[in-house]
Structure 1
């Protein structure tokens, strides 16, 4: 896992990544954190989220996706359903869903440059030590980068 500081969206727009992944809940909100920024910058990604069934637990471990053209670069945005809801305190990240998401990403996007934030460890309250081990094991051999938001 590469580890950099910066802005995931800006890096993607500058051509650093072919695929960006961000964690979502299963209720089509994209109302906080990086999801809100993605909703603003890539409304097509939000539209892909809205085309899924709101509140369905079946979405856990899956993702909706859209590929957009920005300048001379195509970016695929993955809305990864890594938590069921967003309400309340405590851990909302679903480690099994994260495993499934990244296993599917490895299969579908092998050889692509993949960027992601601290998925599941921010607002979802998950343990980054556990999550990073999951991602590293599922994306072994791939070019993938954690982008820690630069304040």
Structure 2
């Protein structure tokens, strides 16, 4: 399914299911994770609990619910400024897990019956250092049953308008 691009603040939006990329080293402080940390402490707590128990497995998704469903997608084995940290294989594995959750639900949440829409930032392409064209292709080939919306902050390059208007592969 083709991705819809929206220029705006994902955390300030009314989106009910939000996915973002995380690393497997226990760093949840900067980038989009830093924003999630402040606004959705349940997502941070779920991530840190898994980290404490040795459960930050590359390619998996840690779910948390606190009014909205947050998917901490473990797409990066490392983190830092500069360089490539994202794993395309991990992105694919996470997207397949999200597809499964969309179809089969997240027990104990209002999404126990699944969901039909997910929203995310330009996952893995900013701090993760990945190529958005490659990540976009992975998302579009794996998230078949959910509408995927990608939020781009105003003034970010590429803009939502540029991403929406370019030819698809």
Measure how far apart 1:88 and its partner are.
5.7
Residue correspondence of structure 1 range 2-151 to structure 2 within 5 A = 2-11=4-13, 14=14, 17-53=15-51, 59-69=57-67, 75-87=68-80, 89-110=82-103, 111-151=115-155
Please, what TM-score do these two structures have when normalized by structure 1? 0.87
Q: Which moved more, 1:54-63 or 1:133-142?
A: 54-63
User: Is this contact kept in 2: 1:26–1:55, CA < 8 A?
Assistant: no
* Cα separation, partners in 2 of 1:135 and 1:79, compared to 1, 3 Å: same
- In structure 1, the residue corresponding to 2:123 is in which secondary structure? coil
Count of residues in correspondence between the two structures: 142
Q: Give 5+ residue unaligned stretches, structure 1.
A: 70-74
Please, what TM-score do these two structures have when normalized by structure 2? 0.78
Cα RMSD between the aligned structures? Answer: 1.8
Q: Give 5+ residue unaligned stretches, structure 2.
A: 104-114, 156-169
Measure how far apart 1:56 and its partner are.
5.7
Higher strand proportion: 1
| Structure 1 consecutive aligned stretches of length 4 or more whose deviation exceeds 2 Å | 53-58
Q: Which has the larger radius of gyration?
A: 2
User: Is this contact kept in 2: 1:9–1:38, CA < 8 A?
Assistant: yes
